[in-house]
Each structure stands twice: as C-alpha cells, then as structure tokens.
Amino acid sequence: MTRTAIVTGAARGIGAATARRLAADGHAVGVVDLDPVACADTVAAITAEGGRALAVGADVSDADAVTAAVAAVADELGAPTVLVNNAGILRDNLLFKMTEDDWDAVLGVHLRGAFLMSRAVQAHQVKAGWGRIVNLSSTSALGNRGQANYAAAKAGMQGLTKTLAIELGRFGVTANAVAPGFIETDMTRATAARLGVGFEEFVEAMVSQIPVGRSGCPDDVAAAVSFFCSEQASFISGQVLYVAGGPTS
C-alpha cells in the first residue's frame, strides 16, 4: 500500500537519505526544508528511481508555515501518515558563552518544530487509523560538552516521543525515536570546523571511541527509520534506538 511520508530537514544529510529510503520503500515523500530549492537534489534522486516527491519550503518552528506545508503535501501526494521529524540546527557553545538566541533557535527548530509537525500530521493519521512518527534524537541527549541547547532538545525529543506513543497508540499510530551517534554529515563537518580541527582528524578521533570501528553514514540512520515506519514495527512504540556503533549508557 502506497502511503505518504513527510521528512523534515530533508535537503541533505540524514534527512535526504531518509527521504530516499522511504521512497524506495514505496512511499510518496514530502521533502521539507527551510529552502525548497535546496530540496531539488533529494526530489530528483527520488523521481529518477521512479518515486514521487514534492519539495516544500517551511520553517518548522512557525505554526502557519507548518500548517501550509502539511496541506501542500496532502493536496499533492495524499494525506501524510508517516512523519520523520529530522530538522535541526547547531548553535554550539559553552554555557557561559551561550546566548538566549542560541538556546531559543535550537529548541525552536528541534522541539517546537517536532511538536508543530506532529500536531498537524496526527490529524491525518487519526483519520486513517494508522500512522508512524519517528523523531530524531541523538547520543547528545545523554549530555555533551558545548551543547547544552542541543542536548536539552534531543533529550526533549525522547520525552515527546514517549508521550506521543501513549496518546496516539489507540489510533493505530506508533511513535519512536532514533538517536544517532557520530554520523558523517555537513553538521559534523561544521562541528569540526568550530573546534578548529581538520575533518579527517576529527573523524579519526571519534572512530577511536566507537566499538564497531567506523563512523556512521546517513544511510545507517535511514535504515533504522525505515524499520520503525514499516508494518512489521506495529508493536513497537515509545522506544529510543541508538544508532551509534556500540552501547550507550
């Protein structure tokens, strides 16, 4: 059965890989990002493989923009019943240097964005009597130096996930979270640059701490999201899966 999915922050990195994976699984995909032009490559990759995709520009922290984006996807591709809340930004700094704007921006995109998108999409899910919500958390939810805002947002995503699972379960909707560890993306490149370290050196240092002996790639995360969105995962809800190459505490 063809379903419609929405993936936020899908212009590149984990979001783009997830959008392509869900399209390969047979979903039509609303590719949402701040700049719709930036979504062109993701949409082109999906359509080149015979899938259906729509680029939608939206600031997920803006309620009106979210409402318009979900409506656009529903009109063009069909009612969305799969939602992946992946949109995120970094504003890293040590606590004493972190500004209120740094805090608000990160919490706004990650947590407020996931809340607004979930609230909008659940109406379609409840009506259909079926749905999947997957929220992107992070190993940073366990605490990470220089990321008070990001860590708080990613821990919040786990609490939001568990609450959505409780509230929406009786409507046939599951909610789970995927928490990546070190994944090679533009975002981790930006982290290396902030630290003044070459990316290859940064990767080598991170890999030295990963039990499986390699860094992660966006497709590793997309595979986990794909499972949670599948029919086979219907009895799994409110869970957090760490995709990190080893155990987490």
How much is the pLDDT for 199?
94
How much is the pLDDT for 53?
98
How much is the pLDDT for 190?
86
- Report the pLDDT averaged over residues 71-93: 97
Task: Name residue, tokens 């029919």.
Answer: 231
Q: How confident is the model at residue 248 (pLDDT cuts 50, 70, 90)?
A: confident
Pairing of β 80-85 and β 53-57: unpaired
How much is the pLDDT for 79?
98
pLDDT per position as a tens digit, 149-188:
999 999 999 999 999 999 999 999 999 999 999 999 988 9
Q: How confident is the model at residue 249 (pLDDT cuts 50, 70, 90)?
A: low
How much is the pLDDT for 88?
97
pLDDT per position as a tens digit, 196-240:
999 999 999 999 999 999 999 999 999 999 999 999 999 999 999
- Phi and psi of 144, rounded to 5°? -155, 125
How much is the pLDDT for 174?
99
| Residue-range domains of the chain with CATH | 4-181+217-243 (3.40.50.720), 184-215 (no CATH)
Whether 150 sits among the annotated catalytic residues: the reply is yes
pLDDT per position as a tens digit, 18-77:
999 999 999 999 999 999 999 999 999 999 999 999 999 999 999 999 999 999 999 999
Cβ pair 149, 107 in contact under 8 A: yes
pTM above threshold 0.95: yes
Residue 16: pLDDT above 70? Answer: yes
Cβ pair 139, 183 in contact under 8 A: no
Q: Which of 103, 150, 182, 202 is catalytic?
A: 150
Cβ pair 58, 37 in contact under 8 A: no
